[in-house]
């Protein structure tokens, strides 16, 4: 077998592709590494979609550094779920470590991997051992950089496997569920794939599209002879700075970035060597292209009408879009949240959300999804309610990247907390901090109970049987019954509904309306003083969402 002592741009790009191929093969196994007996595991999907977002933005670059940087930028925007966000930060660290490197020897690559470890730990406020970061760190620490890169990978993969097998010893929840950490498993899978490419074993198999988000063909009829250009064009290009036009040594690309920010939105731009990569939303791509030509010439250009993009990505209910740029003075508050289910999305709009990103437990939105939502809102302060712990990091990553408004990611961990919290926002309150504090306090007072179907047996406060309806709150299993309404009634008892004043009920897409109405009538009989507000949520996964206020 040919040994590699120098890693160049071409090999690295092939490695990333093969990493995605390998992960695509194993993603269902990784999804199933779920500590919770509810169908909410999507680590494999999240990591794969994140990695693919990096791979698909790869162009042919001469320098390894630019390839790493481009992949990292793509992953940063495409990151979904906490595992996806951490993965994007690992590759961001790697790119940072490879800055300026044209071709990496083992030592340079090992140093960059160390930078990846540092960056990954920085990405998490309170790093928990026994997860993806442990697998990465122990792999990198044990990897032997004294020989060629193949040897480095072999030793790293061995250590990663040992580390992964050891994760249940570090995290009790893994041990209880009898699984290893899913993020760690995903990471190992990716690096195995990268090693395959390193050994010349690239597979020709297509990168199979993942289930979510579905990518239907663009419907050109969405923009017809009478349409109004509301959202402008998503414009991306690579610009080669030309010696005949600018002084390459002293040219500051900030000039370009400042210009783009003045005339467009959602600007992402960076320079590597003499290439400037640009992503911008604008009504007049031609004007920008003309302006850019004073600095250089184009290597690639991609321009897409965003009316088509939006209609492609969003259901009719969520295509509640505001124009890209508005000359109106911004409102004080904008609200972005995440929900799935037609009814829930509608309910969130009614209670005042400006943008409801379609997604949830099993379909985590990406950082880019958040950025797009921010760009559609003309507000000074945007409050983001992720409604899920696994969506929070992508929201926070988007908050760091977005510059046109102050983004506040609210600590809403459930749909119930988000809905209740949004109901409390006082849009007339000029004191943002005070408003946020009182909304946060109200959200903390809420308890959310969920009814779903168990995907396997489990021990806990109650014995959970595969196929039964289970009622739970947080990670606590509280009721189990083959009869859905019984699981629901019992759950409400366990959550001490009698001590509450208000209970919001959202019934899911698999629940007939009559069943929900009967359940509410029965609950009302049992809890005379409780005000029960029934809403049609039509959400997947959760047959009932109870919000006890």
- Indicate which single residue of 178, 200, 286, 423 sits in contact with other proteins (rule: CB under 8 A): 423
Q: Which residues contact 71 (CB under 8 A, 6 or more apart)?
A: 13, 16, 54, 55, 57, 58, 91, 95
Q: Is residue 107 close enough to count as binding other proteins by CB under 8 A?
A: no
Shortest approach of other proteins to residue 441 CB, angstroms?
A: 13
Q: Is residue 352 close enough to count as binding other proteins by CB under 8 A?
A: yes
Nearer to other proteins, 152 or 419 (CB): 419
Shortest approach of other proteins to residue 503 CB, angstroms?
A: 8
Shortest approach of other proteins to residue 532 CB, angstroms?
A: 9
How far from 475 is each of 150, 238, 362, 380, 472, CA to CA, in Å? 42, 47, 16, 36, 7
Nearer to other proteins, 2 or 428 (CB): 428
* Torsion sign across C-alpha atoms 86, 88, 91, 95: negative
Q: Is residue 524 close enough to count as binding other proteins by CB under 8 A?
A: no
- Choose the stretch contacting other proteins; rule: CB under 8 A; options: 142-150, 350-358, 395-403, 470-478: 350-358
Q: 78: part of which helix (H) or strand (E)?
A: helix 64-78
Measure the CA–CA gap between 399 and 520, rounded to whole angstroms: 39
Q: Which two tokens stand for residue 123?
A: 């990405």
Nearer to other proteins, 277 or 500 (CB): 500
- Choose the stretch contacting other proteins; rule: CB under 8 A; options: 79-87, 139-147, 320-328, 522-530: 522-530
Q: Is residue 530 close enough to count as binding other proteins by CB under 8 A?
A: yes
Q: Is residue 533 close enough to count as binding other proteins by CB under 8 A?
A: yes
Shortest approach of other proteins to residue 342 CB, angstroms?
A: 17
For 54-143, list the strands marked E by DSSP: 104-105
Q: Is residue 521 close enough to count as binding other proteins by CB under 8 A?
A: no
- Indicate which single residue of 225, 226, 428, 514 sits in contact with other proteins (rule: CB under 8 A): 428
Is residue 315 reached through a cis peptide bond, with omega within 30 degrees of 0 on the bond before it? no
- Choose the stretch contacting other proteins; rule: CB under 8 A; options: 218-226, 230-238, 399-407, 497-505: 497-505
Conformation bin of residue 362: beta by default, left when phi > 0, alpha when psi is -120 to 50:
alpha
Residue 199, judged by CB atoms within 10 A of its CB (0-12, 13-18, 19+), counts as middle
Shortest approach of other proteins to residue 446 CB, angstroms?
A: 9
User: How many residues touch other proteins (CB under 8 A)?
Assistant: 24
Q: Is residue 501 close enough to count as binding other proteins by CB under 8 A?
A: yes
Q: Is residue 225 close enough to count as binding other proteins by CB under 8 A?
A: no
Q: Rounded to the nearest 5 degrees, what angle is found at the Cα of 132, between the Cα atoms of 131 and 137?
A: 105
Binding mask 432-461 for other proteins (x = CB under 8 A): ------------------------------
Near other proteins in 330-349, by CB under 8 A: 347
Measure the CA–CA gap between 362 and 113, rounded to whole angstroms: 31
Across the strands, what pairs with 149?
none
Under a CB-based contact definition with an 8 Å cutoff, are residues 352 and 435 in contact? Answer: no
- Indicate which single residue of 309, 312, 325, 429 sits in contact with other proteins (rule: CB under 8 A): 429
Q: Which two tokens stand for residue 139?
A: 């792999």
Q: Is residue 383 close enough to count as binding other proteins by CB under 8 A?
A: no
Nearer to other proteins, 208 or 533 (CB): 533
Measure the CA–CA gap between 535 and 507, rounded to whole angstroms: 7
Q: Is residue 504 close enough to count as binding other proteins by CB under 8 A?
A: yes
Measure the CA–CA gap between 189 and 195, rounded to whole angstroms: 10
Q: Is residue 350 close enough to count as binding other proteins by CB under 8 A?
A: yes
- Choose the stretch contacting other proteins; rule: CB under 8 A; options: 26-34, 147-155, 528-536, 537-545: 528-536
Shortest approach of other proteins to residue 545 CB, angstroms?
A: 13
Q: Which residues contact 243 (CB under 8 A, 6 or more apart)?
A: none
- Indicate which single residue of 12, 153, 420, 506 sits in contact with other proteins (rule: CB under 8 A): 420
- Choose the stretch contacting other proteins; rule: CB under 8 A; options: 144-152, 293-301, 379-387, 499-507: 499-507
Q: Is residue 248 close enough to count as binding other proteins by CB under 8 A?
A: no
Q: Is residue 531 close enough to count as binding other proteins by CB under 8 A?
A: yes
- Indicate which single residue of 60, 173, 255, 502 sits in contact with other proteins (rule: CB under 8 A): 502
Length of the chain in residues, anyone? 549
Nearer to other proteins, 36 or 424 (CB): 424
Residue among 196, 190, 139, 203 at smallest CA distance from 4: 196
The DSSP code for 226 is T
Residue among 344, 391, 363, 348 at smallest CA distance from 508: 344
Shortest approach of other proteins to residue 542 CB, angstroms?
A: 19
Residue among 526, 101, 423 at smallest CA distance from 272: 101
Nearer to other proteins, 283 or 419 (CB): 419
Measure the CA–CA gap between 380 and 301, rounded to whole angstroms: 32
- Indicate which single residue of 116, 260, 422, 454 sits in contact with other proteins (rule: CB under 8 A): 422
Under a CB-based contact definition with an 8 Å cutoff, are residues 523 and 490 in contact? Answer: no
Beta pairing, strands 355-358 & 447-453: unpaired
- Indicate which single residue of 294, 327, 329, 529 sits in contact with other proteins (rule: CB under 8 A): 529
CA atoms within 13 A on the CB side of 143: 28
> Can you give the binding site for other proteins, defined by CB under 8 A?
347, 350-352, 419-420, 422-429, 500-502, 504, 528-531, 533, 549
């Amino acid at each position: 077998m040919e040994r590699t002592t120098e890693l160049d741009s071409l090999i690295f790009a092939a490695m990333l592709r093969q990493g995605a191929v390998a992960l695509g093969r194993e993603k269902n196994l990784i999804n199933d590494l779920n500590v919770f007996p509810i169908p909410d595991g999507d680590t494999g999907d999240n990591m794969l979609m994140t990695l693919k977002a990096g791979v698909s933005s790869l162009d042919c670059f001469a320098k390894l550094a630019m390839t790493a940087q481009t992949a990292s930028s793509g992953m940063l925007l495409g990151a979904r779920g906490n595992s996806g966000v951490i993965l994007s930060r690992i590759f961001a660290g790697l790119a940072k470590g490879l800055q300026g490197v044209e071709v990496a020897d083992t030592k340079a690559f090992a140093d960059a991997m160390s930078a990846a470890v540092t960056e990954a730990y920085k990405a998490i406020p309170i790093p928990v051992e026994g997860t993806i970061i442990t697998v990465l760190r122990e792999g990198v620490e044990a990897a032997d950089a004294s020989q060629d890169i193949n040897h480095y990978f072999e030793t790293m993969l061995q250590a990663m496997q040992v580390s992964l097998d050891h994760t249940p010893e570090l995290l009790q929840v893994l041990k209880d569920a009898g699984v290893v950490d899913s993020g760690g498993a995903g990471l190992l899978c990716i690096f195995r794939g990268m090693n395959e490419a390193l050994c010349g074993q690239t597979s020709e198999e297509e990168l199979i599209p993942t289930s979510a988000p579905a990518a239907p063909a663009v419907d050109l009829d969405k923009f017809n002879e009478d349409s109004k250009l509301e959202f402008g064009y998503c414009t991306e290009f690579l610009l080669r700075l030309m010696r005949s036009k600018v002084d390459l040594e002293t040219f500051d690309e900030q000039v370009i970035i400042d210009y783009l920010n003045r005339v467009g939105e959602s600007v992402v731009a960076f320079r590597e060597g003499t290439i400037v990569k640009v992503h911008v939303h604008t009504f007049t791509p031609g004007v920008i292209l003309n302006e850019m030509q004073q600095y250089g010439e184009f290597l690639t250009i991609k321009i897409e009408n965003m009316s088509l993009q939006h209609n492609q990505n969003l259901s009719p209910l969520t295509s509640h879009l505001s124009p890209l740029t508005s000359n109106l003075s911004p409102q004080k508050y904008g609200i972005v949240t995440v929900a799935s289910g037609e009814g829930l999305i509608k309910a969130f709009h009614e209670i005042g959300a400006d943008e409801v990103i379609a997604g949830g437990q099993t379909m985590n939105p990406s950082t880019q999804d958040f950025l797009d939502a921010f760009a559609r809102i003309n507000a000074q302060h945007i409050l983001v309610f992720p409604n899920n712990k696994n969506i929070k990091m992508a929201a926070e990553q988007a908050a760091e990247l977005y510059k046109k408004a102050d983004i506040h990611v609210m600590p809403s961990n459930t749909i119930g907390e988000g809905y209740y919290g949004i109901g409390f926002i006082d849009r007339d309150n000029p004191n943002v901090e005070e408003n946020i504090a009182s909304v946060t306090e109200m959200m903390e007072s809420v308890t959310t109970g969920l009814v779903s179907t168990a995907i396997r047996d489990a021990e806990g406060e109650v014995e959970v049987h595969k196929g039964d309806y289970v009622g739970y709150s947080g990670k606590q299993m509280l009721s189990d019954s083959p009869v859905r309404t019984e699981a629901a009634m019992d759950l409400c008892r366990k959550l001490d509904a009698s001590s509450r004043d208000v209970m919001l009920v959202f019934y899911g897409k698999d629940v007939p309306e009559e069943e929900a109405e009967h359940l509410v009538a029965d609950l009302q009989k049992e809890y005379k003083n409780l005000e029960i507000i029934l809403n049609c949520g039509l959400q997947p996964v959760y047959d009932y969402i109870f919000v006890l206020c």
